[in-house]
Structure 1
């Protein structure tokens, strides 16, 4: 992004709103000792059926940011309702509404199993609320396609609920590379946020932000630019008190006059000794896996890349110091889609960077590690990606895992049962889909979506993990349990 100059941390405010996989924890009770617990934005009725689901999209990353003249930047918020075959207990009437800053918002016409979209404009987040029969299996995501001379990339991020502790991956020390962190507070009370920028040598105090107060219903943007050369493989650790925030990190990269790419991503799965990146795409450039060690002890980390045949094509081990990050580049990978598994003897967090070309105009995609799906997950797909092709990637967490894939298109709904092997990616083409849903039928699975396109300038790509959705009989999901 031009015109930023030597910016360390600039804040703007806007009003708007062996191969062993770790087990997934789904919390059904509130504990004051954990930073991710059942969120009050998920509500159930007396019959135990979820009655309302509130989801927040962080909104545009440039509107209102220092050095940006794009005050009316727009992003699309995609809304999806799971087909009734997946939410049979949710019966009766339901409704969907959304809201943003400056009077944006209103009711959304959305049928069961259907999709819809609204536009978030300017310095605003977007909140979507589904009530009644529409609350179960409700999903929201935001997407945009930037194609200007200074911003180019396909961005897709699933929206969610506030969290008090999140790790996000993106940015770098390359000249012309800027990371913008958007923090939205959809709650009714002020929230105080720390955003620590962590690299291979630890926390960089100059780039980090401390005690940032975000008023109720507001959002703030932290622009991270001109990172010190010593701040290699950066990750951003967001923590808050007084409530949670919804966070998104946009990595915008220019090399002189040439766009390298742009990607917006959300938080990685919480720190654990096993992380899965289910849908890492390899083309002309090897992916980069970033790993952070949040704890007080160093971690011995293993990174494995597994192809669709189940072959481990790269296996690297590295020791990473406590409170630091590292970048690990898998080697010897042919073009294709891989599951990358990160295991360690201490809890870690992870994300992977894909780049479509080594030089010239390209695009990038950040894939944060996924949360295991033990029930239902899904989202709506953007419909106007040029030459768009979409793939759903499923990875079983253990031998014998299985899932049902339900795809909605303009022609109707199709269902496919898929048997999964542990740690091995299974790729399902979902090109032309309006929405994609995964229902676990045995064990648990990790799911990711890859969307690729091509315009007159070159290739486009976005990768996103599928977050567990709220189910009708419990009102709980792993995503909804992070407030």
Structure 2
């Protein structure tokens, strides 16, 4: 036993001596060899198109809180890329799938609900944007409680939506429409502004928008008898598409309806092309003789931090004078600038300010002896266009109606733009004068491109009624992610 203990002690001493006097061992780990860069593919490109307009009150017209769609709306779209195009009603059902890659496709048909257009399975590195998927809806409604032309470009869902327009004054209705195209429930928080500032009432936060559904809210519930509205929608859980449906009544007579689409980020220079004026005499009669002040044209400006603004309205004709308006807007308030005494014609609106502002314009059209006697369109400020963009205009051609791409140039140098019919390939080069505007009549799918920054939108005229389409470029951004393993 003593011998074993002595042997164990001797062995331990030898091991300890080896650790003390052994040469050092260098151990290194090359973290670079255990790391890498991985490309994250952008999310599938998706745009959401509004369905038919909503009628308040249900079938009886007296059911408070009931909102039913009326009729159908015509969806026109075009796509060209790789992978497939899925066309899916938000309500339910499997999508209709078309394989892309064999040339541009076109479609037109009636829909009864909001609809999603999604490019799935696109090749790695494939482009996104309106040249890949673009669409719009148009609806002429002619029921007793609602008459007019409403149109909207299909929009990319977002977590942050600004809607500048609408009114809840007597005889006016503003419905907030929120569509969730995803399989995940969303929650929306609203911030509502007026000419007096932010409106603080209960019920503006935690609004549920269920998966694959559309929620409709009357803004009069939060902001009754407010003539100047601006609304921010912040969504969590899922991205939403949003519009304001604005309707005007004078007693039992309908005086127009439109869909207000989201505005781009606030700018120091906001350009609103496509300010189309028709039927001035009829509009003035309604506005002055019948004392309907908001029947006339107007420009609405929301200044989050306050601003001094100058509004210039320029015609596409060098022989027609427009208008110049100025004003001071208090922080967090909305202000309307009435526009009077414009001759019939096509115009662009330039809003310059010393602080970033949101701006939209409401163009009215008079139709003496027609039904309705007037209609109106809310026109959002345009995004700057520096690469080719596509837009799906109406299929209406003269004499029934017309559609124009109206271009605005807020710079002190002449700009040029190329408008191309995607269906015929016919291209038209347009010169846009400094601080000026120009127009091109076109129908169907078209693209607009310029080698320098310009602004544009589409004006639609059908049977004495008016609407507007935004020219946007919805994209999702991929990324390169550095990953390191330890």
Where relative contact order (Cα < 8 A, 6+ residues apart) is larger, the structure is 1
Matches within 5 A, 1:228-267: 231-267=226-262
Match of 2:73 in 1: 75
In 1, are the aligned partners of 2:76 and 2:107 still within 8 Å (CA)? yes
Match of 1:466 in 2: 471
TM-score relative to the length of structure 1 = 0.76
Rounded to whole Å, the distance in 1 between the matches of 2:366 and 2:103 is 40
In 1, are the aligned partners of 2:184 and 2:210 still within 8 Å (CA)? yes
Matches within 5 A, 1:183-202: 183-202=178-197
CA deviation string 1:372-420 (max 9, x = no partner): 11112222223258812111111235324322211145xx331112232
- Per mean C-alpha deviation after superposition, the further-off stretch among 169-178 and 94-103 is 169-178
Match of 2:111 in 1: 120
Match of 2:315 in 1: 307
Match of 1:6 in 2: none
For 1:232, what is the secondary structure of its paired residue?
coil
TM superposition shift of 1:220: 0.9
For the pair shown, the structure with the greater C-alpha radius of gyration is: 2
Work out whether 1:98 is the aligned partner of 2:111: no
Alpha carbons of 1:134 and 1:81: their partners in 2 closer, same or farther (altered >3 Å)?
A: farther
Matches within 5 A, 1:215-230: 215-225=210-220
Match of 1:352 in 2: 361
For 2:54, what is the secondary structure of its paired residue?
coil
For 1:427, what is the secondary structure of its paired residue?
strand
Rounded to whole Å, the distance in 2 between the matches of 1:209 and 1:228 is 11
CA deviation string 1:65-115 (max 9, x = no partner): 764574564223221136xxxxxxx5xx54322112132641258873342
Rounded to whole Å, the distance in 2 between the matches of 1:427 and 1:226 is 40
Match of 2:331 in 1: 322
- Per mean C-alpha deviation after superposition, the further-off stretch among 199-208 and 416-425 is 199-208
Question: Can you give the 5+ residue segments of structure 1 that lack an aligned partner in the other structure?
Answer: 1-44, 83-89, 477-483
In 1, are the aligned partners of 2:396 and 2:403 still within 8 Å (CA)? no
TM superposition shift of 1:240: 2.4
Alpha carbons of 1:294 and 1:172: their partners in 2 closer, same or farther (altered >3 Å)?
A: same
Number of aligned residue pairs: give it.
407
Rounded to whole Å, the distance in 2 between the matches of 1:263 and 1:324 is 23
In 2, are the aligned partners of 1:94 and 1:135 still within 8 Å (CA)? no
Work out whether 1:372 is the aligned partner of 2:370: no
Rounded to whole Å, the distance in 2 between the matches of 1:177 and 1:70 is 18
Match of 1:392 in 2: 405
In 2, are the aligned partners of 1:63 and 1:73 still within 8 Å (CA)? no
Match of 2:12 in 1: none
Work out whether 1:438 is the aligned partner of 2:436: no
TM-score relative to the length of structure 2 = 0.75
Aligned residue among 265, 286, 302 for 1:292: 302
For 1:356, what is the secondary structure of its paired residue?
strand
Match of 2:51 in 1: 59
Rounded to whole Å, the distance in 2 between the matches of 1:71 and 1:358 is 26
Question: Can you give the 5+ residue segments of structure 2 that lack an aligned partner in the other structure?
Answer: 1-37, 284-295, 480-486
Match of 2:28 in 1: none
Rounded to whole Å, the distance in 2 between the matches of 1:208 and 1:330 is 35
Rounded to whole Å, the distance in 2 between the matches of 1:312 and 1:267 is 30
In 2, are the aligned partners of 1:396 and 1:402 still within 8 Å (CA)? no
Alpha carbons of 1:72 and 1:108: their partners in 2 closer, same or farther (altered >3 Å)?
A: farther
- Per mean C-alpha deviation after superposition, the further-off stretch among 329-338 and 306-315 is 306-315
Matches within 5 A, 1:141-180: 141-180=136-175
For 1:302, what is the secondary structure of its paired residue?
strand
Rounded to whole Å, the distance in 1 between the matches of 2:223 and 2:445 is 42
Match of 1:40 in 2: none
Give the number of the structure whose residues are more often helix, by fraction: 2
- Per mean C-alpha deviation after superposition, the further-off stretch among 59-68 and 172-181 is 59-68
Rounded to whole Å, the distance in 2 between the matches of 1:241 and 1:116 is 33
For 1:209, what is the secondary structure of its paired residue?
coil
